[in-house]
Amino acid sequence: MSNAAISVKDVKIRYRMLNKVSFFRALMSPNKFTKTEYFEAVKGVSFEVPKGQILGIVGKNGSGKSTLLRAIAGIFSPDEGEIDLHGNSISLLSIGVGFQNSLTGRENIYLSGMLLGFSREFIEEKLDEIIEFSELGKFIDRPVKSYSSGMYSKLAFSITAILETDIMLIDEVLSVGDAKFKKKSYAKMKELISNEDRTVLIVSHSSETIKNLCDNVLWIHDGEMKMYGTTEEVLPKYDEFMK
Amino acid sequence: MKRFIGDVKKFWNYTVYAIQSDLKAEVAGSFLSWMWWILDPLLYMLVYSFVAVFVFNSREPYFPVFVFIGLNVWQFFSKVVKSGVKLIQGKKSIVTKVYIPKFVFIFDRIGVFGIKMFISFALTAVFMIFYRVPVTWKALWVIPLFLLLFIITYAVTTIITHFGVFVEDLLNVITVVLQLGFYVSGIFYSIESRIMPKSEIIGTILINCNPIALIMTDMRNVLLYNGEPHYIALAVWAVVGIVVSAIGTRIIYKHENSYVKVI
């Protein structure tokens, strides 16, 4: 496939069962400190996602979905195999990365945005849009710690939703705030997702969400690929399995 | 190495902004909290000057300035190193959500505590004028001395940060070790005039084997006493500092995958 946005090839991710040790144990038996057991969370998964596609990832708890997503986001690299993003920018949609509670909302937009790898100029450009979307009004110049939890997540959602990337990874669809904002954020999410140039990966336990949003579905079971195909094909079988 | 330089460039803007906002956040807490950046070392200086002069009978020319320089250098070093222990855990919310080279956090700490140190060093200048300390061109040596202090601090902190992730009670150990370091570094006594006459060997070891004591001693030499720094010892420590920094950075790069999984 030449128009692939993400290529994942034979990816294996191991967790080293490295327990924390106390200082004396580390001194007494350095072997225990270095000896490690491995636990393989993702056992050789390969797939390709064409540009513009929306892929849902399903599987039961602990099957390695989130691990895979984090590896694709580059938070850690796979122990074996390759992940190629073909030069696309990527972000894992997550709430409130790197917020400093005693600073104002405005300053936190910069902090969070820069952490996500955007330049200061770009954030400046998008600043008004973020503030407007967040509906925070005057509160944007108050410290974040004075926000209600709803306001907090509204701001966080607005940052990630407005500062968009070519590939977006979503771990459980975010629905935040009151009923009105929930609707608005869901609509915004849908708008982001359905942009034809954007490739999206969604991890979710809700079959409803997957059915509504995704073109294709990847089913992971115990770290292995169980099925990969169109939503109509895979989802009924997954639902059947989960019953 | 290439990766290190690339990452420094890429994350430089974030580092600077993070330092600014960390400082701002501290000031935002209470209106006069920046005053503590100066008051803290100043009050400690009074305490140690009192103890040293009245209890141990220390006598050095310009004694309060002497203590103040030592305290500033030591507090910078020990605070950065101590913060290294819980650095990665403390940034859990960032580390598990985006990729960031972990040494950026150490840069951030060095920046924050470094700026505080420079602010209270400005007070040193005031003291020097007040005591009419004759200043010569040798005072310019403080610039390379500060640079060396940063390198050594970075080097030690990379190692501490790495083990801090895995060793649970490292903070207790580090606290004791730093306490020992505080007393042997000669903050409120002069190794050269108090230890050297009793035992030259111990004095030489204390100065030359402890880079912080060496930096402290030489800062006082060039700022207050128009003396020469220990050129050779400084050069050796500069090389050691750079080598350990490189090793520490490598270790952090190599293991950063497992940090995310352990915390």
pLDDT digits (tens, 9 = 90+) for A220-232: 888 888 888 888 8
Average pLDDT over residues B44-67: 83
Beta carbons of B158 and B88 less than 8 angstroms apart: no
Nearest residue in B to A97, CA atom: B94
Residue A45: pLDDT over 60: yes
Range of A19-23, A34-38, B70-74 with top mean pLDDT:
B70-74
* Beta-strand pair A38-50/A167-171: unpaired
Domain that holds residue B195: 2-262
| Cβ atoms within 10 Å, residue B188 | 24
Judged by a CB distance cut-off of 8 A, whether residue A83 touches chain B is no
Domain covering A4-89+201-242 in this structure, CATH number:
3.40.50.300
Measured CA to CA, the distance from residue A39 to residue A115 in angstroms comes to 30
Query: What residue segments make up the domains of chain A, in order of their start?
Result: 4-89+201-242, 93-194
Judged by a CB distance cut-off of 8 A, whether residue A62 touches chain B is no
Residue A33: pLDDT over 60: no
Q: Which residues of B touch A23 (CB under 8 A)?
A: 167-170, 172-173
Token pair, residue A214, equals: 């995704």
CA A149 to chain B, closest CA, distance in angstroms equals: 17
Residue B222: pLDDT over 90: yes
Judged by a CB distance cut-off of 8 A, whether residue A33 touches chain B is yes
Judged by a CB distance cut-off of 8 A, whether residue A23 touches chain B is yes
Residue B144: pLDDT over 70: yes
Average pLDDT over residues B94-111: 90
Residue A37: pLDDT over 80: no
Considering only the beta carbons, identify the residue of B17, B167, B261 that sits closest to A16.
B261
Average pLDDT, chain A: 82
B94/A115 Cβ within 8 A: yes
Name the domain count of chain B: 1
Measured CA to CA, the distance from residue A34 to residue A18 in angstroms comes to 8
pLDDT at position A148 is 85
Considering only the beta carbons, identify the residue of B28, B93, B258 that sits closest to A98.
B93
B168/A21 Cβ within 8 A: yes
State the distance between the two ends of chain B, measured CA to CA, in whole angstroms. Answer: 27
Judged by a CB distance cut-off of 8 A, whether residue A106 touches chain B is no
Measured CA to CA, the distance from residue B207 to residue B199 in angstroms comes to 13
Q: Which CATH superfamily is domain A93-194 in?
A: P-loop containing nucleotide triphosphate hydrolases (3.40.50.300)
For the sheet containing A38-50, what is the strand order?
A38-50, A4-16, A80-84
Judged by a CB distance cut-off of 8 A, whether residue A97 touches chain B is yes
Token pair, residue A138, equals: 């005057």
CA B215 to chain A, closest CA, distance in angstroms equals: 30
Kindly indicate the confidence band of residue B29, based on its pLDDT and cuts at 50, 70 and 90: low
Residue B149: pLDDT over 90: yes
Plot region of A120 (φ>0 → left; ψ -120 to 50 → alpha; else → beta): alpha
Predicted confidence (pLDDT) per residue in A178-193, tens digit: 788 888 888 887 888 8
Nearest residue in B to A107, CA atom: B21
pLDDT at position B161 is 94
Considering only the beta carbons, identify the residue of A23, A91, A117 that sits closest to B170.
A23
Please report, rounded to a whole number, the percentage of residues in chain B having pLDDT higher than 90. 44
Q: Which residues of B touch A16 (CB under 8 A)?
A: 258, 261
pLDDT at position A18 is 62
Judged by a CB distance cut-off of 8 A, whether residue A117 touches chain B is yes
Measured CA to CA, the distance from residue A52 to residue A194 in angstroms comes to 8
Kindly indicate the confidence band of residue A1, based on its pLDDT and cuts at 50, 70 and 90: very low
Beta carbons of A228 and A241 less than 8 angstroms apart: no
CA A22 to chain B, closest CA, distance in angstroms equals: 5
Question: Residues in chain B whose beta carbon is closer than 8 A to a beta carbon of chain A?
Answer: 10, 13-14, 17-18, 21-22, 24-25, 28-29, 93-100, 166-170, 172-173, 256-258, 260-262
